[in-house]
Amino acid sequence: MASAIAAMVVNHADRGKPLTWIEIGSVAGGDAAIPSAALRAARLQFVGSGQGSVPTRDILAELPAIAGVITRGAFRIDGRTVPLADVEAAWNETATQRIVFAP
């Protein structure tokens, strides 16, 4: 994680535009050392995704609407998964869809 964040910050063309790192699990380990220079050099945002990152009452309040969108077949995510090994090629693309890097 530390190496990926450092590379993203150094190669980010517009450091004023926010970069959001969404942490979804701990396959790579339970701790994440974040280079302090990366925190100072860019608008870097960290978001957790998992039990506890959203209050249960908020999840329950949204479930009926989510179920409705899914059953209507209207749920679409404009994104694609890219192997982490191809991060450099994906970084240089001009596509506007979201990219999720997978180890």
Report whether pLDDT(43) > 80.
yes
- 2-31 pLDDT, tens digit each: 788 888 888 888 877 888 888 877 766 778
pLDDT at 44: 86
Is residue 71 situated within a structural domain?
A: no
In order, the DSSP letters of 26-82 are -TT-S-----HHHHHHS-EEEEE-STTSS-HHHHHHHHHHHHHHHHTT-----EEEE
Is 79 within a domain? no
Residue range 58-68: mean pLDDT, rounded:
92
What pLDDT, in 10s, does the model give residues 70-99?
A: 899 887 777 888 998 898 888 777 777 788
Q: Does 99 reside within a domain?
A: no
Specify the number of domains making up the chain: 1
Domain that holds residue 3: 1-51
Q: What is the pLDDT of residue 50?
A: 77
Is the confidence at residue 62, as pLDDT, over 70? yes
Q: Is residue 82 part of a domain?
A: no
| Confidence at 60, pLDDT banded by 50, 70, 90 | very high
List phi, psi (to 5°) of 84: -55, -30
Q: Does the residue 90 lie in any domain?
A: no
Give the residue, 37 or 67, on which the prediction is more confident: 67
Q: Does residue 59 belong to any structural domain of this protein? A: no
Residue 61 resides in a domain: no
Assess if residue 32 is contained within a domain: yes
State the pLDDT at residue 28. Answer: 67
- Residue 3's nearest CA partner among 80, 101, 93 is 101
